[in-house]
Amino acid sequence: MKKVIGLYWFLLPVLLVLSCFYRPVIKEPDTQPESKLLFLEVTTPDSAQIPFVPRYKGKFKVTFYWIVEEKDYSGKRDTPIYLENGKLLGYFPRKFVEDFKKESCAELIDGRRISYLKRVNRARIVKEFLGYGGYTIRPFQSVAVDPAVIPLGSKLYIPQLAKVDRASVVAHTNLEEPGVVYAHDIGSMVNNHHIDIFVGYKKNLKLFYDAGITSSCLVDVYLLE
């Protein structure tokens, strides 16, 4: 009996140590319960109902550019304009050619419209005047920008432009909301906080002046998209 008791006290510490390392094996069920988090139905509001917050870009200096009309020029027709294929378009008054290259768009006496391709010093006959990067420009809706400040193609809002009476001039065109324009052009003289507004015919400048928007004045520019 004493031997059994002695053996018990000898084995007891060993059994206690082994119990510390013993972990019961529990068999996992064949199928895991579905996680409610993984299958939680999430509803989001219609994107049209989420208001886009315009980003204010600051104050910008305004200038204007327009269609140069051949009918407004006289004088000796001694200055050539060549098309991009090298064909001679015709000879024109020197001042007309200079202004055409400056404004980059012109209307000939016969009604044809041409855009200036500055890189090759040539003209292209067009239906819609060319902007930059494949864009075309429209009166009261297109502006030239510095792409380092405003990305080309951006939709902009200029509250001061909402005051311009444009309906009678572009009534045939689907207009955006008043004050909304697009960055569809650039200009060699358009740098930093500067926008150049395409007004169509030069006579339309009066509509901007009547709204208090004159050359070199400052306007607020918001980036919509």
Pinpoint the alpha helices (H) of the chain: 2-21, 94-103, 205-210
Q: Which residue has the tokens 């080309």?
A: 152
In a domain, residue 145? The reply is yes
Number of domains in the chain: 1
Burial grade of 61 (CB within 10 A; 0-12, 13-18, 19 or more): middle
Task: Tell me the average pLDDT of the chain.
Answer: 82
25-29, 74-78, 177-181 — which is least confidently predicted?
Answer: 25-29
In a domain, residue 49? The reply is no
Is the distance from CB of 106 to CB of 130 less than 8 angstroms?
no
In a domain, residue 217? The reply is yes
Is the distance from CB of 207 to CB of 168 less than 8 angstroms?
no
Domain that holds residue 169: 55-223
In a domain, residue 21? The reply is no
Return the amino acid letter for 3: K
pLDDT, position 49: 43
Is the distance from CB of 150 to CB of 200 less than 8 angstroms?
no
> Which phi and psi (to 5°) does residue 14 adopt?
-65, -40
The pair of three-digit structure tokens given for residue 113, joined into one six-digit string: 């419209």
In 3D space, the residue among 65, 66, 64, 62 whose CA is nearest the CA of residue 220 turns out to be 62
pLDDT in tens, 122-174: 999 999 999 999 999 999 999 999 999 999 999 999 999 999 987 766 554 56
Is the distance from CB of 153 to CB of 184 less than 8 angstroms?
yes
Is the distance from CB of 184 to CB of 143 less than 8 angstroms?
yes
In a domain, residue 36? The reply is no
CA distance 105 to 185: 12
> Which phi and psi (to 5°) does residue 141 adopt?
-120, -15
In a domain, residue 83? The reply is yes
In a domain, residue 16? The reply is no
pLDDT in tens, 35-85: 333 333 333 334 344 445 789 999 999 999 999 999 999 999 999 999 999
In a domain, residue 25? The reply is no
